[in-house]
Structures are given as C-alpha cells and as structure tokens.
Amino acid sequence: MKAIILSAGRGERMQPLTNSTPKPLLEVDSKSLIEHTIEALVNAGIINIVINYAHLGEQFPSKLGDGSRYNATIEYSNEQDGRLETAGGIVKALPLLGDAPFLVVNGDIWTDYPFRELEKAKLNSKILCHLVLVNNPEHNPKGDFSLASGLLSQAEQKKFTYSGIGIYHPSLFTNLKLEPKPLKPILLTAIAAQQVSGEVYSGQWFDIGTVERLNALSNHLNV
C-alpha cells in the first residue's frame, strides 16, 4: 500500500514559525513532524510514500531526499503553481498513487496509531474509504462524524473528530477535475451513500494547528 502525506498547507496559525519553514518540517523532539510520520509508516511496512507540497515546498526534497535514509521511497507532487486544497491535491497525485487503495495522512499530526491496522480495512465497490476517528479535542468539541455499525454518518448523536488518517479508494477521486477542491464535501456525499466505514482510536493523537499544540506535543514527548 502507498501513502500520501498531505503537506501543502500554509500553516498560517503557526506564524511566524511557518514564515520560513513549512509546518510539517517544524521540529519536535529532534526531528520534524513529517519525519515522525515517515518513520511510523515504515515501521508499519508502508515504504512507498508521496508528499504533496506548495508553501516553501522546495524544502521537502532538500530535507527528506528520496527517502532512502528512512528505508522508504519518497516521491513528490508539486503544487507550487497553485494550492489545490486537500481533494485537489489528491487528484493531482493520483498518477503517483496508482490504482489500489492508498493511505492518506495529514502532515501536521503526531500519533502513535498503529498504521498496520489499516490493512484490515476492506475497501470495495460499496465502501470507498475508511477513516480513523478520535475523541474530540478542545479545539473541535462538536466533532465531525458519527459512527454506527462501523459506518460514518451525520446523525445527531455522539460525534468524533476525523484524525486526518484514512484509506481511500482511488475511484473516489478519478472523475474529479484537477482544480482546488476541499475533501469534506466529497466525504459527506460518500457518507450519505453509506460508502464510508470508520473506527475510533483512543490512543495518542495531536493535531499541530497552533504553536501551543506544538509545545504541548514537545512536552509530551519529553516527559
């Protein structure tokens, strides 16, 4: 299975740190956020990795190279000619990701989620993606999606937060134009058609959206 680490955001809430460094390349515990993710993927046997980039994107290949130092193969999808948002970025990267289901993980999270578990998610013509949900953090108290009988829904019941981790079938994106496009409307359409399965992970997960959360992760890793 291949993976794409989404890394094209500007990280405006992390300024001034992100004025000179893309958010996934900010360091915590002596390595960048994205290196933590790369190492976790490799440890799970996922060694073919795509990284999309835009803001200060030239720093990614300069820092990470071809992935050989991590025992991985890294390819890059350049969005510097115009940010495509999440779904648009995935559409552009499809030629690198191939025809099989692939893992998507946000470049600005840290987690101890065991990525190997995602091999158990079986996608087919009826289930087009499988998302990992987490308990709602302080910055997203209302959550994103409900989960019932293994399927995501928008029902008015307990909701969980999308972790930024999931497996997607390429057919979810193959008919989309290459243009700026957010992911959530696509997910909502698939959820309404009962095409999205999910699970709730109760382990460690940090969404590094602010300097304060970056510092909280640093404190966590250095206890």
- For residue 10, give the CATH number of its domain: 3.90.550.10
Mean pLDDT of 194-222: 95
Query: How confident is the prediction for the chain on average, in pLDDT?
Result: 95
**pLDDT (0 to 100) of residue 60:** 98
- Six-digit token string for 70: 């991590």
Instruction: Tell me the pLDDT band of 82, cut-offs 50, 70 and 90.
Output: confident
pLDDT score for 13 = 87
pLDDT band at 159 (very low <50, low <70, confident <90, very high): very high
Among 209, 216, 223, which Cα is nearest to 17's?
209
- CB atoms inside a 10 Å sphere around CB 16: 8
What are the structure tokens assigned to 155, written together? 């029902």
Predicted pLDDT at 103:
98
Taking alpha carbons only, the member of 182, 187, 184 closest to residue 172 is: 187
- Strand, coil or helix: what is 75? strand
For the segment 165-181, the average pLDDT, to the nearest whole number, is 95
User: Which pLDDT value is given to residue 83?
Assistant: 78
Q: Which domain holds residue 8?
A: 2-221
Number of domains in the chain: 1
Sign of the C-alpha dihedral, residues 158, 197, 41, 81? negative
pLDDT value at 223 more than 80:
no
